[in-house]
């Protein structure tokens, strides 16, 4: 959408700069060259060096084969982007009434900028936007040089230089590939490698860039622009930043808002202007609500294009007027248009800039205060602190995943690709995504950020837990680094403030636990703990408060909680035994413990837990180049397993056998071991089986954490690690790089259903407990049916159980101990399994849910050949049936080149990876993404079906 608006704006501009108010630098002819000039090729922006090199045929697609290794030479060179500005400056003459601003929304990362031969700036922060007045430089080019040049230095070499300084602080933390440099560079931390992705260390003008001209003689538009950038069409005003924060009157990030209080709509603008005004005003209008404020006085604005001026104004809206924004599962994500008009009276005239933002009315809290004694005594809550979210005054169960960067090369991402991943989260029942702190601050729109993220979250009704970009390392607090971090954080907090989807700010990822360990184990550990407090407990905390963000701040993604919110004091090791504080995470790669509940955390909120799996055979087809590569432990496949990480540039990862072994042992322990006469099928079944185990494991944990909502821990959150993939390789994701759903995404669609039934089996004492769990705000009643089957599909016995589940709680519907009493009489555990069905009325609609219980591992079960058939119609509706036995984990796959998911043809809910029983057909429909599918109309005959039976049978 924004791209179309920009095209229209640029199309209206003539080559003469005096009329070109917003000119996209993407329209210029760019070249890219390396340091010694041996490579000079055409380039584009937004882009990164690898992408332009690939377009020019210098390198092949970086994600192919072993290119993450063979193309490392790109990282070691310096790359310069240059374009001739003549098409838009040939008639430019410097005048007081006309100014030219060079605007970069993102440079990756270490670069010198020159214009017309003049130095403009040296930059070192990927996360900042930069604006420069280049009027005088354009008016007096050196030696007829009319170029804009951005010369990038190798971030790797820059990092090595910075880390080798005598005053550089050593970080006692392990790393991934390009080691010991990233904490000195304000750049995407995973660009240097991570345990789920490659290390390309890209560089380039990776976000849009513009030349904006201001002129008092420009025509004034009376129609509000659809984006602040385009408001510069008004002539003499450039809105460099805009912030819109909606909160309750009197609300702070650490206080519980009065839900009946008026709403406070606060607007902050960063302004550069040709016109000085002693008495400027801001007017706020909400057209759908027929509300317009009076002109609100703000501080004076000087005539300055060299630096911006911040001005703020607030407007009160009665609580009774707007509808509230909720997540998609809790209500309607209602959004409104907010038209912001800045007026600068000067003499008899006034310059104005008017634009529209889209936002919503909601309160979102992160409750971190202690539980009351009444909660402990009457509700049975384990003593300690709360740690959960509340939306519009209502506590809810947070269900979701974590996201990582969507591609190693940010510049080539699209809103369609990201939107599909977000929609996949919504379709699988998620209401929150955690924006992981080792990646990037996600963008708000295409015009400034290449693709849309936060605005899409707003529209879809999914919360985004935001993090600042610090991860898994200790960070020095040198003044030069803090000077760079300060504007980075302020700019991003202001921008993201406007989004009702933003749920909180965390200072970084997993660092609190690291410094606690360092403090306990190293002689100088207190030094690192003190630096952590300075950066994450004070510096970043204070910035979020100063920028009037109404959402909570936490020092870290996983935290011990706080001793005090005002002043902000982190708890660290100051804990009382038996009390529960903060939140938690869980990783256990011993597959024998995958379903051992005693190894799961008893916590208020679990923000990371996962197990890695292979991508599908179809994803491997996108990148493997030789037939011999299609094997579970081939060199190329193993080279894409970065768990545990190499910790150096050693290639292939010398630690990959450990990660491969963990997946292998998991499949061998819980599923029939893949092995057929067809090597490609065997490889495909191995890939898929790792995904089946991953889903089994994560569904078990989610069920456990949801169960905790009704126990002493009052667990109210579960965020799986992770949602998306950055490439085709081993990872913890539920959605593959292409957008193809793994088994886990369907598993989450099942277990994140608002009301679920689940069998909790403890083999040590042979105890089975079946619970119904509900996330609804009102009590839910219904029935559950427990039916025992043989693997041949014969019904052995069935029982019906009525239940009523209180709000955010669970009810036990069956308890049994000892296989002799639990199993159908006369049958062995290897020969039977149980189907669990639930039916309930929720919000006036009937919902259903099903789960499965096998008293032994499927590796030990006496499976029966299912003889599965698959029939189809032309509208991509498929009917699957088993003729002779139960097909455990029946799975439909769509062909290469298509992106989509399967739904129950009756309910429309995602459905795949189910138990197929003889005599009970299943009909599913394939819903494709036309925007992402390279094959728009696949042949239904190319869709395939498999089950665990095919692990050992063709």
Active site members: 510
DSSP state of 348: T
- Which two three-digit tokens encode residue 441? 């601050």
Rounded alpha-carbon distances, angstroms, from residue 804 to 18, 711, 808, 951? 71, 17, 12, 41
Q: What backbone phi and psi angles, to 5 degrees, belong to 746?
A: -70, -35
- Which two three-digit tokens encode residue 32? 């890219």
Q: Which residues of 155-169 are buried (b: 16+ CB within 10 A; e: fewer)?
A: bbebbeebbeeeebb
Q: Which residue has the tokens 């909680």?
A: 561
- Distance in angstroms (rounded) separating the CA atoms of residues 492 and 278: 29
* CB-CB contact of 585 with 558 (8 Å): yes
The pairing of beta strand 432-435 with beta strand 398-403: parallel
Q: Which residue has the tokens 């090597």?
A: 679
Which DSSP helix (H) or strand (E) runs through 427?
A: helix 415-427
- Which two three-digit tokens encode residue 493? 């907090």
Q: Which residues pair with 131 in a beta bridge?
A: 103
- Which two three-digit tokens encode residue 133? 């007045």
Would you tell me how many other CB atoms lie within 10 Å of the CB of residue 550? 21
Would you tell me how many other CB atoms lie within 10 Å of the CB of residue 11? 7
Q: What backbone phi and psi angles, to 5 degrees, belong to 192?
A: -95, 10
Please state whether 798 falls in left (phi above 0), alpha (psi between -120 and 50) or beta: beta
Q: Which residues pair with 108 in a beta bridge?
A: 204
The 3-class secondary structure across 574-641, one letter per residue, is CCCCCCECCCEEECCCCHHHCCCHHHCCCCCCEEEECCCECCCHHHHHCCCCCHHHCCCCCHHHHHCC
- Distance in angstroms (rounded) separating the CA atoms of residues 873 and 631: 34
Rounded alpha-carbon distances, angstroms, from residue 51 to 23, 57, 190, 369, 498? 23, 10, 18, 49, 32
DSSP state of 948: G
Angle at the Cα of 152 from the Cα atoms of 147 and 153, rounded to 5 degrees = 145
DSSP state of 462: -
DSSP letters, 798-867, are: EEEEEEEE-TTEEEEEEEEESHHHHSPTT--GGGEEEEEEEEEEETTEEEEEEEEE-SS-TTTS------
- Distance in angstroms (rounded) separating the CA atoms of residues 576 and 584: 16
- Distance in angstroms (rounded) separating the CA atoms of residues 946 and 954: 10
Would you tell me how many other CB atoms lie within 10 Å of the CB of residue 847? 18
Q: Which residues pair with 30 in a beta bridge?
A: 43, 83
Handedness of CA 25, 269, 185, 118 (dihedral sign): positive
Among 469, 394, 450, which Cα is nearest to 775's? 394
- Distance in angstroms (rounded) separating the CA atoms of residues 212 and 232: 7
Q: Which residue has the tokens 């191995």?
A: 686
Residues in Cβ contact with 144 at an 8 Å cutoff, skipping those fewer than 6 apart: none
- Distance in angstroms (rounded) separating the CA atoms of residues 664 and 646: 20
Which DSSP helix (H) or strand (E) runs through 355?
A: strand 349-359
């Amino acid at each position: 959408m924004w791209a179309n608006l920009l095209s229209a704006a640029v199309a209206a501009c003539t080559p003469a700069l005096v009329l070109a108010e917003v000119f996209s630098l993407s329209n210029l002819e760019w070249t890219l060259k390396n340091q010694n000039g041996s490579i000079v090729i055409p380039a584009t922006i937004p882009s990164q060096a690898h992408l332009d090199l690939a377009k020019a045929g210098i390198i092949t697609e970086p994600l192919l084969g072993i290119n993450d290794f063979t193309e490392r030479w790109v990282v070691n060179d310096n790359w310069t982007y240059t374009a001739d500005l003549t098409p838009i400056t040939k008639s430019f003459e410097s005048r007081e009434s006309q100014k030219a601003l060079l605007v970069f929304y993102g440079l990756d990362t270490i670069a010198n900028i020159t214009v017309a031969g003049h130095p403009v700036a040296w930059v070192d922060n990927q996360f900042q936007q930069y604006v420069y007045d280049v009027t005088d430089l354009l008016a007096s080019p050196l030696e007829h040089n009319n170029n804009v040049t951005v010369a990038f230095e190798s971030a790797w070499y820059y990092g090595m230089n910075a880390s080798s300084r005598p005053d550089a602080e050593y970080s006692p933390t392990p790393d991934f590939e390009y080691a010991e440099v990233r904490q000195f560079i304000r750049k995407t931390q995973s660009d240097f490698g991570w345990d789920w992705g490659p290390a390309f260390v890209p560089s380039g003008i990776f976000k849009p860039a513009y030349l904006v001209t201001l002129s008092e003689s420009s025509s004034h538009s009376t129609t509000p622009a659809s984006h602040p950038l385009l408001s510069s069409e008004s002539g003499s005003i450039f809105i460099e930043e805009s912030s819109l924060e909606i909160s309750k009157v009197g609300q702070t990030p650490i206080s519980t808002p009065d839900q009946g209080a008026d709403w406070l709509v606060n607007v902050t603008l960063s302004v550069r202007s040709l016109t000085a005004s002693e008495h400027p005003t801001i007017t706020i209008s909400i057209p759908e609500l027929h509300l317009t404020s009076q002109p609100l006085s703000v501080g004076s604005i000087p005539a300055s294009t060299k630096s911006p001026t911040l001005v703020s104004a607030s407007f009160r809206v009665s609580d009774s007027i707007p509808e509230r924004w909720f997540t998609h599962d809790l209500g309607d994500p209602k959004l409104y248009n907010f038209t912001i008009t800045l007026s600068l009276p000067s003499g008899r005239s006034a310059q104005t800039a008017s634009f529209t933002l889209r936002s919503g009315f909601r309160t979102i809290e992160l409750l971190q205060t202690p539980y009351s004694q009444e909660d402990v005594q009457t509700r049975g809550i384990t003593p300690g602190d709360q740690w959960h979210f509340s939306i519009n005054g209502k506590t809810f169960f947070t269900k979701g995943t974590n996201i990582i960067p969507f591609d190693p090369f940010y510049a080539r991402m699209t809103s369609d690709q990201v939107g599909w991943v977000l929609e996949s989260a919504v379709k699988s029942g998620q209401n929150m995504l955690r924006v992981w702190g080792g990646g990037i601050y996600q963008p708000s729109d295409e015009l400034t950020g290449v693709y849309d993220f936060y605005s899409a979250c707003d529209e879809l009704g999914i919360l985004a837990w935001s993090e600042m970009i610090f991860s898994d390392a200790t960070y020095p607090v040198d003044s030069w680094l803090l000077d760079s971090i300060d504007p980075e954080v302020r700019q991003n907090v202001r921008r993201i403030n406007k989004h009702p989807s933003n749920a909180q700010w965390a200072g970084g990822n997993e660092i609190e636990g690291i410094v606690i360990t360092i403090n306990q184990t190293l002689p100088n550990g207190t030094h690192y703990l003190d630096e952590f407090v300075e950066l994450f407990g004070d510096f970043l905390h204070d910035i979020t408060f100063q920028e009037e963000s109404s959402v909570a701040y936490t020092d870290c993604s996983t935290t011990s909680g706080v001793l005090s919110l005002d002043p902000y004091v982190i708890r660290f090791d100051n804990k009382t035994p038996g009390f529960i504080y903060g939140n938690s995470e869980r990783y256990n790669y011993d597959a024998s413990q995958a379903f051992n509940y005693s190894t799961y955390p008893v916590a208020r909120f679990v923000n990371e837990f996962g197990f890695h799996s292979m991508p599908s055979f179809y994803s491997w087809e996108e990148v493997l180049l030789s037939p011999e590569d299609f094997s579970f432990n081939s060199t190329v496949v193993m080279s894409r397993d970065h768990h545990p990480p190499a910790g150096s540039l050693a290639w292939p990862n010398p630690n990959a056998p450990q990660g491969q072994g963990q997946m292998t042992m998991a499949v061998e322990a819980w599923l029939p071991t893949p092995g057929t006469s067809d090597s490609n099928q065997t490889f495909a079944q191995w890939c898929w089986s790792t995904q089946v185990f991953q889903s089994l494991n994560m569904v078990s944990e989610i069920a456990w954490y949801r169960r905790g909502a009704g126990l002493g821990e009052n667990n109210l959150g579960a965020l799986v690690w992770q949602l998306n993939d950055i490439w085709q390789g081993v990872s913890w994701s539920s959605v593959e790089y292409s957008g193809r759903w793994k088994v886990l995404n369907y598993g989450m669609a099942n277990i994140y259903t608002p009301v679920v039934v689940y069998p909790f089996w403890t083999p040590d004492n042979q105890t089975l407990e079946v619970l119904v769990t509900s996330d609804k705000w009102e009590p839910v009643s219904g029935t559950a049916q427990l039916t025992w089957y043989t693997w041949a599909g014969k019904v052995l016995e069935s029982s019906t159980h009525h239940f009523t589940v209180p709000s955010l709680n669970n009810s036990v519907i069956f308890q049994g101990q000892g296989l002799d009493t639990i199993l159908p009489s006369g049958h062995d555990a290897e020969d039977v399994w149980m189907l669990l069905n639930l039916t309930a009325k929720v919000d006036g609609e009937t919902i259903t849910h099903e789960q499965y219980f096998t008293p032994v591992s499927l590796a030990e079960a006496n499976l029966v050949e299912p003889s599965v058939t698959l029939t189809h119609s032309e509208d991509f509706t498929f009917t699957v049936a088993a003729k002779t036995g139960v097909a455990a984990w029946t799975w439909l796959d769509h062909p290469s080149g298509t992106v989509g998911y399967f739904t129950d043809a009756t309910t429309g809910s995602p459905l795949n990876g189910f138990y197929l029983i003889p005599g009970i057909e299943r009909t599913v429909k394939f819903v494709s993404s036309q925007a992402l599918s390279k094959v728009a109309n696949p042949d239904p005959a190319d869709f395939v079906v498999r089950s665990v039976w095919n692990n050992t049978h063709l």
